[in-house]
A = this chain, B = another copy of it.
Amino acid sequence: MSKELTKRAEDYSKWYNELVVKADLAENSGVRGCMVIKPYGYAIWEKMQAELDRMFKETGHSNAYFPLFVPKSMFEAEEKNAEGFAKECAIVTHYRLKNDPDKPGKLMVDPNAKLEEELIVRPTSEAIIWSTYKNWVQSYRDLPLLINQWANVVRWEMRTRLFLRTAEFLWQEGHTAHATKAEAIEESEKMMHVYADFVENFMAIPVIKGLKTETERFAGAEETYCIEALMQDGKALQAGTSHFLGQNFAKAFDVKFANQEGKQEHVWGTSWGVSTRLMGALVMTHSDDNGLVLPPNLAPIQVVIVPIFKTDEEFDAISAVANDLVAQFKKLRISVKFDNRTTQKPGFKFAEWELKGVPVRIAVGPKDLENGTFEIARRDTLSKEVKSKEGIVNYISDLLEQIQSDLFNRALDYRNTHVTEVNTFEEFKDVLENKTGFIAAHWDGTPETEEKIKDLTKATIRCIPLNRVEEEGKCIFSGAKSTGRVLFAKAY
């Protein structure tokens, strides 16, 4: 099975597309640009959701649900936001079908059921949520509002790719309202840190925290914080964003509160989100030419047990041992599968679980039974070892933690060796083409230079790193003064 997978070195993009489908994560649907998330892929997403949800609640947020549709007049109220999304909106114009008189058995849109006002399928929910917050906030006592929503959103992308860019995707969007600017900024920074914590410690993907430039900022935000990850092909991927919205939406939707002195003020806002795009980051950070490699924290199946047998007696004896192991793993809340199918051979099973990225495989044959051993294989390193059955469950429990941290460190090493400082535009182009990765370079701070560099090289400024060193320098493109380096890269 794994033989059919294109090699990364051959065609990284093809490798990705094939792997997502073959590993049963997702597939394209019969609806343009929309994907079907298959049970195995969805099980990984559920693990992400559960952990993020726990983190949001721990930081004081509650979930709620707001409408899918946004009336056009509401959508356009915050002009920059509306302008930013206008070109990729799915628009509902009618509310009824009727029988097509010319085609028996077929339906047509009923022209008599035209909506008075068109409805936009939410590309993001600031407009609908701030129009609601208007009624929820009167006094400083009503603040802060710390709300999150798990939802589907639609952005009519012309070129789509599974998980990375789809017309419909799943995400969470936090929308908070605060009495002061400082508190709102603190919230947007806090959620960037929550995202970084999640992506690094749970997904084993190292990220760089930073600020977006004005050009790359969320439409309607005053400031966009982001976390940027680096994929194996040297391209960057924006893994999450957190926006300080200033008073933009409060002004657009007239959301005011009486402060402690009884004066009316506009509310300060934030919004922040991560999406099923993270599934793409997961695949492209850890997986290899044999298939998916899953960090144990996210693996729907953490351990698979494959029996190797010829006779029914052997199968029964192995099953007894395997079932005992399963019970022990379950006590430790380790998710385990005993692959006792008799319709497939061990080699087939090995390839299948390798393709699906199960972190640890245990093989048991008649000889193992005799010797009191198991063959343990790690998916990440593809290494195998024979271990005594004594203490095997605790050994594997530790091994899973080891794999989780090894995956992070391996990705971190790769990322760290792919942040290159350059001081000339020639160097810049050379690194971009030949070494790839993040390029730390001086930039004059103008959108014009940013755009010219993008036009010439397809590289964009991924972020202004939060931890950057103040350093006098000259813009690699214009030669104008700069006070610190920003990170460029080609990006997904």
Name A residues whose Cβ lies closer than 8 Å to a Cβ of B: 27, 29-31, 34-39, 42-43, 45-46, 62-72, 74-76, 79, 82, 86-99, 105-107, 109, 118-121, 128, 131-132, 135, 141, 147, 151-152, 154, 156, 168, 170, 343
Query: Which chain B positions have C-beta within 8 A of A34?
Result: 67-69
A39-B62, A43-B62 given; A29·B67 CB < 8 A:
yes
A90-B92, A90-B119, A93-B91 given; A72·B107 CB < 8 A:
yes
**B64 to A42, Cβ gap below 8 A?**
yes
Residue of B nearest to A53 (CB): B46
Query: Which chain B positions have C-beta within 8 A of A118?
Result: 109
Secondary structure of the A side of the interface? mixed
CA distance A70 to B29 in the complex (A): 10
**B95 to A93, Cβ gap below 8 A?**
no
**A82 to B64, Cβ gap below 8 A?**
no
Residue of B nearest to A70 (CB): B31
CA distance A42 to B118 in the complex (A): 28
**A31 to B119, Cβ gap below 8 A?**
yes
A386 to nearest B CB, angstroms?
33
Query: Which chain B positions have C-beta within 8 A of A65?
Result: 36-37, 42, 45, 170
**B120 to A97, Cβ gap below 8 A?**
yes
**A94 to B96, Cβ gap below 8 A?**
no
CA distance A245 to B47 in the complex (A): 32
Query: Which chain B positions have C-beta within 8 A of A141?
Result: 343
Of the candidates B68, B79, B86, B109, the one whose C-beta lies within 8 Å of that of A98 is: B86
A36-B67, A43-B62 given; A95·B106 CB < 8 A:
no
Query: Which chain B positions have C-beta within 8 A of A74?
Result: 30-31
Query: Which chain B positions have C-beta within 8 A of A88?
Result: 95-96
Query: Which chain B positions have C-beta within 8 A of A79?
Result: 105
Query: Which chain B positions have C-beta within 8 A of A154?
Result: 68
Query: Which chain B positions have C-beta within 8 A of A105?
Result: 76, 79
A83 to nearest B CB, angstroms?
8
CA distance A73 to B14 in the complex (A): 31
In the A-B complex, list the 4 residue pairs whose CB atoms are closest, starting with the nearest.
Answer: A34-B67, A39-B62, A37-B65, A86-B97
Residue of B nearest to A154 (CB): B68
Residue of B nearest to A107 (CB): B76
**A91 to B97, Cβ gap below 8 A?**
yes
**B30 to A71, Cβ gap below 8 A?**
yes
**B64 to A31, Cβ gap below 8 A?**
no
13 A–B contacts, CB within 8 A, in A order: A29-B67, A30-B132, A31-B71, A36-B67, A37-B64, A39-B62, A39-B63, A65-B170, A72-B97, A87-B96, A91-B109, A96-B156, A141-B343
**B131 to A168, Cβ gap below 8 A?**
no
CA distance A131 to B34 in the complex (A): 14
Query: Which chain B positions have C-beta within 8 A of A147?
Result: 39
Query: Which chain B positions have C-beta within 8 A of A76?
Result: 105-107
**A64 to B38, Cβ gap below 8 A?**
yes
A79-B105, A121-B92, A141-B343 given; A128·B31 CB < 8 A:
yes
Of the candidates B63, B128, B168, the one whose C-beta lies within 8 Å of that of A46 is: B63
A314 to nearest B CB, angstroms?
24
A95-B91, A105-B76, A128-B30 given; A43·B69 CB < 8 A:
no
Residue of B nearest to A127 (CB): B30
A277 to nearest B CB, angstroms?
14
CA distance A90 to B121 in the complex (A): 11
Interface hub of A63, A87, A95 (most chain B Cβ within 10 A): A95
A74 to nearest B CB, angstroms?
6
**B86 to A96, Cβ gap below 8 A?**
yes
Interface hub of A67, A94, A99, A107 (most chain B Cβ within 10 A): A67
**B97 to A87, Cβ gap below 8 A?**
yes
**A36 to B92, Cβ gap below 8 A?**
no
Query: Which chain B positions have C-beta within 8 A of A63?
Result: 39, 42-43, 46
Query: Which chain B positions have C-beta within 8 A of A71?
Result: 30-31
CA distance A31 to B63 in the complex (A): 20
Query: Which chain B positions have C-beta within 8 A of A97?
Result: 72, 82, 86-87, 89, 91, 120
CA distance A172 to B262 in the complex (A): 46
A323 to nearest B CB, angstroms?
19
CA distance A62 to B43 in the complex (A): 8
Query: Which chain B positions have C-beta within 8 A of A128?
Result: 29-31
**A152 to B39, Cβ gap below 8 A?**
no
CA distance A109 to B72 in the complex (A): 9
A93-B94, A94-B91, A118-B109 given; A131·B64 CB < 8 A:
no
Query: Which chain B positions have C-beta within 8 A of A120?
Result: 97
